[in-house]
């Protein structure tokens, strides 16, 4: 969440940033935060003064009792008793005000970086880079759902039978191909200095709160009611929460972690042709990269992460472009976000396969993730970053469509050592 220091010292910048994100009632929300913070500080001052007076008076009682001044001592005791009752009320007021303040801050999104373009939705995003060659497919080229049926690679109907729509079953070579992609992405991350983590697939409320999924996205997460746990929408959640309530040494930054996980998303309200096949699933596999860094170095880290994801697209021989998201299309928690999209030649459309974001101190403030400055010895908030490197379903869809032949689908050269075959076809063993 936004820090009170930022809100109080740069109020106008915060309001303008929230308006850039099209956050309704930005000025009213910030005014309410400042008013609650003022009440909190005034109450704290009253409580501190009360407790100090109580301490001074209590010290007098013993001396008066020794001097046999019982009446004076009892009068002070009565005064101390009233002060303690007042202090109890002030503490209650302080707790309530702090609770309201925290609840309000949790409803306010992160403000965008100055480089974020103005805009209301995805149509206003800006293409910052393009790469790869769009294949020239014949007119009778098949979309991936038809190719999967033709070569018996993925069975969407069986998934519906067992669970429901959005839970496909991968068969034979395609199951091996999924494992190959996961291994390839993890190995590339390792080569880039990311330490692999194998995280839990369910998290508690505190973890969802720390990375900003709660209370913003609880409707999009699968909830295990009996245990009050949530299935993860991305490995970002458990991996970043490793550093919740942690003070790091400056010399250890940037911290680089990666993780493969299954991801679970309800995707409530999604329907139509844009969710067909692998385009939008409720369960899918993804490799995530996460960084914890110092504020002054976090944008260098962001550029390194962008270069890493771009390298994966290039090695998979996929046509891609990189979009800088506009204010109106950004997530609740991000300060800046870049989307990678690959071109699906049979569907004739761009499919998002990665988002790479810098959250600056927004997540770290919720997580209480800090580092100790080696010069000042003071603790400061870290910056957190994450990115998909990569999400499998749409990568698979694009590889299948762009590399189709009458005999099967050609496997990109970079993946052959990982899967042990060069063609996805009806020979499924």
> Three-state SS string across 184-240, please?
HHHHHHHHCCCEECCCCCEECHHHHHHHCCCCCCHHHCCEECCCCEEECCCCHHHHH
How is the beta sheet containing 195-196 ordered, strand by strand?
126-131, 320-324, 336-344, 349-360, 383-391, 283-293, 255-264, 195-196
CA atoms within 13 A on the CB side of 330: 34
Question: What is the C-alpha separation between 421 and 408, in angstroms, rounded?
Answer: 12
For residue 330, give the nearest of 216, 214, 169 by alpha carbon: 216
- Closest to 18 (Cα-Cα) out of 96, 98, 104: 104
Contact 318, 399 (CB under 8 A): yes
Enumerate the known binding-site residues for L-serine. Answer: 234, 265, 288, 386
Q: Which two tokens stand for residue 290?
A: 């996460």
Does the predicted TM-score (pTM) go above 0.75? yes
DSSP per-residue letters across 257-322: EEEEEEEE---TT--SGGGTTTTS-SEEEEEEEEEEE-GGGHHHHHHHHHHHHHHHHHHTT--EEE
Residue 66 φ/ψ, nearest 5 degrees? -65, -35
Q: Which pLDDT value is given to residue 132?
A: 97
pLDDT at 56: 87
Give me the residue label for tokens 């930022």: 6
DSSP 408-423: EEEPPGGGHHHHS-SE
Which residues are annotated binding-site positions for ATP?
265-267, 352-355
| Whole-number Å distance between alpha carbons of 53 and 423 | 82
Indicate if the alpha-carbon torsion angle 121, 18, 263, 165 is positive or negative: negative
Domains of the chain by residue range: 4-106, 122-424
Q: Peptide bond preceding 254: is omega within 30 degrees of 0, i.e. cis?
A: yes
Cis geometry, peptide bond prior to residue 215 (ω within 30 degrees of 0): yes
Query: Euclidean distance between the first and final Cα of the chain, in Å?
Result: 51
Distance of alpha carbon 28 from its chain centroid, rounded?
Answer: 26
Cα separation, 282 vs 166, in Å, equals 5
| Other Cβ atoms closer than 10 A to 278 | 24
pLDDT of residue 271: 58
SS3 call for 337: strand
| Owner of token pair 């490793």 | 242
Q: Within 13 Å, how many C-alpha atoms sit on residue 357's CB side? A: 26
Question: Can you tell me the distance from the alpha carbon of 315 to that of 359, in angstroms, rounded to the nearest whole number?
Answer: 28
State whether the Cα torsion 232-235-239-241 is positive or negative: negative
CATH architecture, domain 122-424: 2-Layer Sandwich (3.30)
Q: Please count the CA atoms within 13 angstroms of the CA of 363 that sit on its side-chain side.
A: 34
State the greatest distance between any 2 C-alpha atoms of the chain, in Å, as a whole number: 107
Per the annotation, binding residues are: 234, 265-267, 288, 352-355, 386
- Report the CATH architecture of 4-106: Orthogonal Bundle (1.10)
Q: Which of 111, 147, 54, 126 is nearest to 345 (CA)?
A: 147
Residue with tokens 């997530």: 331
Instruction: Output the pLDDT for position 67.
Output: 82
pLDDT of residue 273: 58
Residuewise pLDDT in 10s, the chain (429 residues) = 999 999 999 999 999 999 999 999 999 999 999 999 999 999 999 999 999 998 888 888 877 877 878 888 888 888 888 899 999 999 999 999 999 999 999 999 999 999 999 999 999 999 999 999 999 999 999 999 999 999 999 999 999 999 999 999 999 999 999 999 999 999 999 999 999 999 999 999 999 999 999 986 667 899 999 999 999 999 999 999 999 999 999 999 999 999 999 999 998 655 555 789 999 999 999 999 999 999 999 999 999 999 999 999 999 999 999 999 999 999 999 999 999 999 999 999 999 999 999 999 999 999 999 999 999 999 999 999 999 999 999 999 999 999 999 999 999 999 999 999 999 999 888
Kindly report the backbone phi and psi dihedral angles of residue 191, in degrees, each rounded to the nearest multiple of 5, phi listed first: -60, -30
Asked if domains 4-106 and 122-424 share a fold, the reply is no
């Amino acid at each position: 969440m936004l820090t009170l220091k930022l809100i109080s010292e740069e109020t106008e910048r915060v309001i303008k940033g929230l308006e850039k994100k099209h956050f309704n009632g930005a000025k009213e929300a910030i005014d309410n935060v400042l008013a609650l913070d003022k009440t909190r500080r005034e109450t704290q001052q009253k409580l501190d003064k009360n407790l100090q007076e109580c301490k001074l008076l209590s010290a007098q009682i013993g001396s008066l009792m020794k001097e046999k001044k019982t009446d004076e001592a009892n009068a002070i005791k009565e005064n101390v008793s009233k002060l303690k009752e007042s202090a109890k009320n002030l503490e209650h007021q302080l707790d309530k005000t702090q609770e309201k303040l925290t609840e309000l801050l949790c409803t306010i999104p992160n403000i965008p970086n100055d480089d974020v373009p103005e805009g209301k939705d995805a149509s206003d995003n800006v293409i910052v880079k393009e790469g790869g060659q769009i294949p020239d497919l014949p007119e009778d080229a098949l979309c991936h759902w038809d190719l999967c049926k033709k070569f018996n690679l993925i069975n969407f109907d069986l998934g519906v039978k067992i669970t429901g729509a959005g839970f496909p079953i991968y068969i034979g070579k395609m199951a091996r191909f999924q494992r190959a992609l996961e291994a390839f992405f993890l190995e590339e991350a390792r080569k880039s200095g990311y330490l692999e983590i194998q995280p839990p697939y369910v998290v508690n409320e505190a973890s969802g709160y720390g990375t900003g999924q709660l209370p913003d996205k609880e409707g999009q997460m699968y909830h295990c009611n009996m245990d009050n746990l949530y299935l993860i929408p991305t490995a970002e959640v458990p991996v970043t929460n490793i550093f919740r309530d942690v003070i790091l040494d400056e010399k250890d930054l940037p911290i680089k972690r990666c993780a493969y996980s299954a991801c679970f998303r309800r995707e409530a309200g999604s329907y139509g042709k844009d969710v067909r096949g692998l385009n939008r699933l409720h369960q899918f596999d993804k490799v995530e990269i996460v960084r914890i860094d110092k504020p002054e170095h976090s944008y260098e880290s962001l550029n390194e992460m962008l270069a890493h994801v771009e390298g994966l697209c290039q090695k998979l021989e996929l046509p891609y472009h990189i979009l800088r998201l506009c204010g109106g299309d950004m997530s609740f928690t991000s300060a800046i976000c870049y989307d990678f999209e690959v071109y699906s030649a049979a569907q004739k459309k761009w499919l998002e396969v990665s988002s790479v974001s810098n959250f600056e101190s927004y997540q770290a403030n919720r997580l209480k993730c800090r580092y100790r400055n080696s010069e000042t010895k003071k603790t400061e908030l870290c910056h957190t970053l994450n990115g998909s490197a990569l999400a499998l379903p749409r990568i698979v869809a694009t590889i299948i469509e762009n590399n189709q032949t009458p005999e099967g689908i050609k496997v990109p050269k970079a993946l052959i050592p990982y899967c042990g075959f060069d063609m996805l076809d009806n020979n499924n063993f």
